[in-house]
Amino acid sequence: MPFIVQLPRQVLLGVAAFVLLFASSTAGGTPPCPVLDYRVEFREPTCSAMLLHDSISLATLFVRNASSGNYTPMADLVRPAPSPAEPVTFLDANADGRASSSDAFQVWTPGGCADRGLTIYMGSNASSIGGSQSLFLREGFVQNCMGSGADSNLPWVIVILGAAGAAAVGLAAWMLSRRHP
């Protein structure tokens, strides 16, 4: 006669609830990709965040003046290079009025990028800012979330769910061994 394992309903419901809760919290907890993907280059005296594959209207991107607090549209800062008088500019390489591949946010940084940040604000106009993204300016840094092609959390989700399943089977076997000596 074959040995049939019958688990109590409470154990099965508990294991199912745990696996479902864990899987949904892990999947929901994955942060979204930032809007702009870029790589940082330095050519004295300019630190540039070169865009990789985005296409966003310059009229909806802004920088904030630290002293006045005013927002300036990137469309007003299209220049070939920054200067001490205009330390933040935008190089629109193809002159299409959009932040797109090969265009660059540029910052006047004589001596190197020095791990600075540049915050780009987004909104329909300067009085309606809806979000922002900080660009990390370190020479050689690359932010390429959209181009990565893989969910980097997937292997961890599989390992953790596998461990949870093994723990549930182990718990069930232990409980059964106590019932049938």
What the chain holds in terms of domains, given with CATH numbers, is 9-30+151-179 (no CATH), 38-143 (2.60.40)
What is the model's pLDDT at position 121?
95
What mean pLDDT, rounded, does the chain reach?
Answer: 78
Q: pTM of the predicted model, to two decimals?
A: 0.63
What is the model's pLDDT at position 126?
85
What is the model's pLDDT at position 34?
75
What is the model's pLDDT at position 24?
47
pLDDT digits (tens, 9 = 90+) for 9-37: 555 545 544 544 444 444 445 557 778 99
As given in the structure block, the two tokens for residue 154 are 């997937």
Residues of the chain with pLDDT under 50: 13, 16-17, 19-28, 149-157
What is the model's pLDDT at position 158?
54
